[in-house]
Structure 1
Amino acid sequence: MFDRWKKKKTATAIQVTAPLSGKAVPLSQVPDEAFAAGHMGQGIAIEPSEGKLVAPFDGTVAHVIKSKHAVMLEDPATQLQYLFHIGINTVGLKGEGFTSHVQAGDQVKSGQTLIEFDMAAIKAAGYPTITPIIVTNADEVASKVEGQIGDVVSGQDHVLTIELK
């Protein structure tokens, strides 16, 4: 009888486009246990085909790692936070081969270049270029995070579908 007064909460699903061109793979294929086991959060990884990371949505740069191999973005519309981590153990390069085009606090537009990186230099130094894309606060904000695998083009193909709580 009072059911009509209950608010119906419907899940909202958002899609995130690829921030890199390449091949999207499950996080379990990342050669780093922290990412592969989901300890850093839920998401997907991309084996890049070019050295350019772009913003997959309009948002705010929450943090740029000092060695420029990773950046965190926040989507103000959903409060979701994302970590884009170029390569594995690339912190050891101390910024060599990475050019950041943003800094913390910057407002970015979808498709804007965040970081450019020299894939050949990273590989020559012995580091994988596979790039995890992690929803760092998914446990608090999302009820489900699904990744799409296969070849992707940055700014065009969706790599994550996230159901908000």
Structure 2
Amino acid sequence: MFGFTRKKKDASLIGLMAPVKGKLLPLKDVPDLAFSDGSMGGGGAILPSEGLVTAPCPGTVAHVMEKSKHALLLEHEAGFQILIHVGIETVSLKGEGFFPRVAAGDKVKTGQPLLEFDLETIVRAGLSPVTPIIIPGGQDRVESVEFNGDSAFRKKEPFIRVLLKNG
């Protein structure tokens, strides 16, 4: 139940679980124009209530920001990428308060810990802890991305749905 794949006529629908506990937000509510205007891609965001990021799906860690440790890129086993970016302008912390639990090349399962972070360090620095989860634009396989974080959301449901083109 931790993510799903459903075939449509000429596409596959894949669900991604929320990788952080907290309040779900549409991208338009992210306090950074690079995310909120959708230019980086589609997805959603979370205002975290705790400092743990888990894998939203099975896949492979494609990249962990080496010095700042505030973001990572996963590749879903279906061949598309997911960016998890903890906080806004948190690159300025230069890794302080961030503790990666995986490295590039690691295979992960849904729910596996990826990154721990100190929420208090982010807030104390005057930064927003809002965490965008983005399906970066320009991926040929991605047909569309849908945020599923409205008031009807249930914890066992995916909070982002990705429609992939077959082929």
TM bucket, shorter chain: 0.7 to 0.9
Provide the C-alpha distance between the structure 1 equivalents of 2:76 and 2:27, rounded to a whole number of angstroms.
22
> SS of the residue aligned with 2:83?
strand
**Contact 1:80-1:138 within 8 A present in 2 as well:** no
> SS of the residue aligned with 2:34?
helix
Q: Deviations over 1:2-40 (max 9, x none)?
A: xxxxxx953221111110111111111111111111121
How far residue 59 of structure 1 moved from its aligned partner, in angstroms, is 0.8
Provide the C-alpha distance between the structure 1 equivalents of 2:110 and 2:102, rounded to a whole number of angstroms.
13
- Structure 1: gaps of 5 or more residues: 1-7
- Structure 2: gaps of 5 or more residues: 1-7
1:51-62 equivalence runs, <5 A: 51-62=51-62
> SS of the residue aligned with 1:140?
coil
Provide the C-alpha distance between the structure 1 equivalents of 2:145 and 2:22, rounded to a whole number of angstroms.
20
Q: Are positions 1:75 and 2:72 aligned together?
A: no
Aligned-residue RMSD, C-alpha: 1.9
- Which letter maps to 2:29? Q
Q: Which runs of 4+ in 1 moved over 3 A?
A: 150-154
For normalisation by structure 1, the TM-score amounts to: 0.88
Q: Are positions 1:128 and 2:131 aligned together?
A: no
Aligned to 1:3: none
- The number of equivalent residue pairs is 156
Provide the C-alpha distance between the structure 1 equivalents of 2:98 and 2:14, rounded to a whole number of angstroms.
30
Higher helix fraction: Structure 1 or Structure 2? 1
Provide the C-alpha distance between the structure 1 equivalents of 2:96 and 2:163, rounded to a whole number of angstroms.
37
1:6-155 equivalence runs, <5 A: 9-66=9-66, 67-76=68-77, 78-137=78-137, 139-150=139-150
The percentage of counterpart residues that share the same residue type is 48
Provide the C-alpha distance between the structure 2 equivalents of 1:40 and 1:10, rounded to a whole number of angstroms.
25
Provide the C-alpha distance between the structure 2 equivalents of 1:13 and 1:138, rounded to a whole number of angstroms.
18
**Contact 1:80-1:137 within 8 A present in 2 as well:** no
**Bigger radius of gyration, 1 or 2?**
1
Q: Deviations over 1:66-125 (max 9, x none)?
A: 21100100012x211000000000000000011001111111111111000111111010
For normalisation by structure 2, the TM-score amounts to: 0.87
> SS of the residue aligned with 2:39?
coil
